[in-house]
């Protein structure tokens, strides 16, 4: 009835004249186009673009994956949270302060090249959407320059001499790898050849990828450039073998991510994302808990063949996967790890403990073996580091870490008759009074988490961290070589010594030195540097051979027998942690970086003055 009174509106109800209809439709379509287009010019356009152009649309949907909301929730920082911001020092300003000298010039050149490389944002062939991540912006969000004011050079000449020694060890290990095993995974220094192994599913160059960031922070310019060139020309990710999801993630993805964040070279980002995509089918299980082994070349294997998944393997993906989402703009990586988190949070835990084996099919624990060493270790490490890496916003990770630590203290932490604190293993309620070398990382872990524990527990956690580190040092000092065994016991009269022949070996592992490094940063007690130096001397005396470094079969005999393997983690972790131990704290400061479990530094997502990274 209303329409009838209006001029131009026909008596036939909604009817308009043809010309009026045309003008009206034209106006309407113009309005719609304008609104849609405007979305892309809003300040938050990256997120909107992601909603409309999201790659997830083309990704296979996996069973049990978390929702996008979980991801956003996880990445979002509460606006009311305040963080005291230290005065930001620009990296460029730091470079200007670098002193002269040939190596220094090379280093400056290298670093300025990498700065400009980061500005030339090239697009990726492999899903890295470079428009979604700004490297320049990321650098501005760091509180301090990654390499410190003088590359972390300590003012004390004795410490500097020690640092130089570690650098020389790295160069020696690298040169021999390059000479005898270039492109293979690891060097066999006695037989002077390369080793491929079966952990990496046909991927090559594990020592190269694991070394990139160590070479870079040590200023080994030529060596870093060789490594980068190899990644450019020879790192082939189209391999077809069965790989350990965990090992590929911590060494290759972690190594490439760190190399990217330190240098800004798009190449590393693109390779990391390309490889990350290849890992996704591992999550196609009924629960979304990934299998431990993945065929890198095939998308078709079934979950039914899976055995149990290992806590330290599926629980050690979080840091790298969150960064894959940051760099690619694709939420799927964070969804996958948040789904693991959700399941672990929900599942019933015996005495609050996390057993080492879980069925990816049923989502239930398979047996009740709990260990802070092998099979469990880095799961706990990634909880506290996820919290720290989120700029202390990931409250679930925080809660899970501190309640796990409480359960560990209540059930596993023991004091030996001789007064040494150690972490026993737990088998269905029965304690096995054994501590693995791997468990020695926990000194550092408990140390870096001490400050965020309940106020009344902070000093206690720091003391516990120091006690564990002390025990691990004892396992070194009680051997003839002053290197520690693979596992040491606290029963049948033993105190921090191996009682079984099969536990006496040392394979260049980093965990004890890793804890020295963290405890040094946290306390500045000079004993940690002294302990680190003892380790350097022992490595030089017993593990250095003519063509590299080798593990040894028995730390209790001075007639050493070498195992002929220079592990890639020796270059990525052991030597890096030693170098950091003898450097000033502003080399990769802990306010800005967390180290993944292979010692690859990943940046903390700071968001104090607005979002620093793409998804936040």
Active site residues: 247, 377, 486, 511
Q: By rule CB under 6 A, what string of x and - marks binding of each residue 510-529 to ligand DMJ?
A: x-------------------
One DSSP character per residue, 368-398 reads -EE-SSTTTHHHHHHHHHHHHHTTS--HHHH
Distance CA 393, CA 391 (A): 6
- In this structure, are residues 297 and 238 in contact, taking their beta carbons and an 8 Å threshold? yes
Least Cβ distance, residue 273 to ligand DMJ (angstroms): 22
- In this structure, are residues 592 and 534 in contact, taking their beta carbons and an 8 Å threshold? no
- 598 forms part of the interface with ligand DMJ (CB under 6 A): yes
Phi-psi region of 561 (alpha: psi -120 to 50; beta: other; left: phi over 0): beta
Q: What is the enclosing helix (H) or strand (E) of 37?
A: helix 18-39
- 509 forms part of the interface with ligand DMJ (CB under 6 A): yes
Binders of ligand DMJ in range 139-198 (CB under 6 A): none
Q: Which is nearer to ligand DMJ, 138 or 570 (CB)?
A: 570
Q: Which is nearer to ligand DMJ, 314 or 569 (CB)?
A: 569
Q: By rule CB under 6 A, what string of x and - marks binding of each residue 270-299 to ligand DMJ?
A: ------------------------------
Least Cβ distance, residue 511 to ligand DMJ (angstroms): 6
597 is known to lie in a ligand binding site: yes
Q: What's the per-residue H, E or C state across 298-363?
A: CCCCCHHHCCCEEHHHHCCCHHHHHHHHHHHCCCHHHHHHHHHHHHHHHCCCHHHCCCCEECCCCC
Distance CA 433, CA 424 (A): 5
Q: By rule CB under 6 A, what string of x and - marks binding of each residue 417-446 to ligand DMJ?
A: ---------------------x--------
Reference 412, options 388, 364, 380, 367; nearest CA is 380
Distance CA 277, CA 132 (A): 17
Q: Which is nearer to ligand DMJ, 46 or 340 (CB)?
A: 340
Binding residue (CB under 6 A) for ligand DMJ from 244, 263, 309, 597: 597
Distance CA 495, CA 488 (A): 8
Least Cβ distance, residue 172 to ligand DMJ (angstroms): 20
Q: Which is nearer to ligand DMJ, 89 or 196 (CB)?
A: 196
Phi-psi region of 594 (alpha: psi -120 to 50; beta: other; left: phi over 0): beta
Residue 521 neighbours by CB under 8 Å, 6+ apart: 585, 590
Least Cβ distance, residue 371 to ligand DMJ (angstroms): 12
Q: What are phi and psi of 62, to 5 degrees?
A: -105, 155
Least Cβ distance, residue 385 to ligand DMJ (angstroms): 12
Distance CA 598, CA 316 (A): 11
Q: Which is nearer to ligand DMJ, 139 or 509 (CB)?
A: 509
User: How many chain residues touch ligand DMJ (CB under 6 A)?
Assistant: 8
Is residue 9 packed enough to be buried (19+ CB in 10 Å), middle (13-18) or exposed (0-12)?
Answer: middle
Q: Which is nearer to ligand DMJ, 214 or 597 (CB)?
A: 597
Least Cβ distance, residue 381 to ligand DMJ (angstroms): 8
Name the closest residue to ligand DMJ (Cβ): 597
Binders of ligand DMJ in range 353-382 (CB under 6 A): 378
Reference 271, options 234, 244, 298, 300; nearest CA is 234
- 569 forms part of the interface with ligand DMJ (CB under 6 A): yes
The annotated binding site is made up of 597
Residues that bind ligand DMJ (CB under 6 A): 378, 438, 509-510, 569, 573, 597-598
The annotated binding site for Ca(2+) is made up of 597
């Amino acid at each position: 009835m209303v329409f009838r009174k209006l001029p131009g509106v026909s008596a036939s109800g909604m009817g308009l004249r043809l010309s009026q209809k045309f003008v009206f439709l034209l106006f309407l379509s113009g309005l719609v186009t304008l609104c849609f287009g405007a979305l892309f010019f809003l300040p938050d356009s990256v997120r909107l673009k992601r909603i409309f152009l999201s790659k997830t649309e083309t990704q296979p949907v996996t069973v049990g994956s978390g929702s996008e909301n979980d991801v956003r929730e996880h990445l979002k920082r509460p606006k009311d949270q305040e963080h005291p911001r230290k005065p930001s020092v620009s990296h460029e300003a730091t470079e200007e302060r670098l002193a002269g000298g040939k190596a220094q010039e090379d280093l400056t050149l290298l670093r300025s090249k990498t700065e400009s490389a980061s500005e030339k944002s090239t697009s990726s062939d492999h899903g890295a959407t470079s428009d979604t991540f700004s490297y320049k912006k990321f650098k501005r969000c760091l509180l301090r320059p990654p390499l410190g004011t003088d590359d972390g050079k300590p003012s004390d000449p004795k410490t500097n001499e020690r640092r130089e020694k570690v650098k020389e060890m790295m160069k020696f290990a690298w040169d021999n790898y390059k000479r005898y095993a270039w492109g293979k995974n690891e060097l066999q220094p006695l037989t002077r050849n390369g080793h491929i192994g079966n952990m990496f599913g046909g991927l090559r160059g594990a020592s190269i990828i694991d070394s990139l960031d160590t070479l870079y922070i040590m200023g080994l310019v030529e060596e870093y450039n060789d490594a980068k060139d190899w990644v450019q020309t020879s790192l082939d990710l189209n391999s077809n073998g069965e790989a350990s999801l965990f090992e590929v993630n911590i060494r290759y993805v972690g190594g490439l991510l760190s190399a990217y964040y330190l240098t800004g070279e798009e190449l590393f980002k693109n390779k990391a994302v390309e490889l990350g995509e290849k890992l996704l089918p591992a999550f196609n299980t009924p629960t979304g808990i990934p299998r431990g082994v993945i065929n890198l070349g095939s998308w078709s294997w079934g979950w039914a063949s899976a055995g149990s998944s290992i806590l330290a393997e599926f629980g050690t993906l979080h840091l790298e996967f969150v960064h894959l989402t940051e760099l690619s703009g694709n939420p799927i990586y964070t969804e996958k790890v948040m789904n693991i988190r959700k399941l672990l949070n929900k599942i019933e835990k015996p005495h609050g403990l996390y057993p080492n084996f879980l069925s990816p099919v049923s989502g239930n624990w398979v047996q009740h073996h709990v260990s802070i060493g092998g099979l469990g270790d880095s799961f706990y490490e990634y909880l506290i580091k996820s919290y720290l890496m989120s700029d202390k916003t990931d409250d679930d990770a925080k809660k899970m870490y501190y309640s796990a630590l409480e359960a560990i203290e209540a059930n596993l932490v023991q004091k030996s008759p001789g007064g040494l604190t150690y972490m026993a293993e737990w088998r269905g309620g029965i304690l096995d009074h054994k501590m693995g070398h791997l468990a020695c990382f926990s000194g550092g872990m408990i140390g870096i988490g001490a400050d965020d524990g309940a106020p009344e527990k902070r000093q206690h956690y720091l003391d516990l961290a120091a006690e564990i580190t002390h025990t691990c040092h004892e396992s070194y000092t009680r051997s003839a070589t002053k290197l520690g065994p693979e596992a040491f016991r606290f029963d049948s009269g033993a105190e921090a010594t191996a009682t079984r022949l099969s536990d006496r070996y040392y394979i260049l592992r980093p965990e004890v030195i890793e804890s020295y490094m963290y405890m040094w940063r946290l306390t500045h007690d000079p004993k940690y540097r002294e302990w680190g130096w003892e380790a350097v001397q022992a490595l030089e005396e017993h593990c250095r051979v003519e063509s590299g470094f080798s593990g040894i079969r028995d730390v209790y005999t001075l007639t050493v027998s070498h195992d002929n393997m220079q592990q890639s983690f020796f270059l990525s972790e052991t030597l890096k942690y030693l170098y950091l131990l003898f450097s000033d704290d502003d080399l990769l400061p802990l306010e800005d970086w967390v180290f993944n479990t292979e010692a690859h530094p990943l940046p903390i997502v700071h968001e104090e003055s607005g979002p620093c990274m793409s998804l936040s």
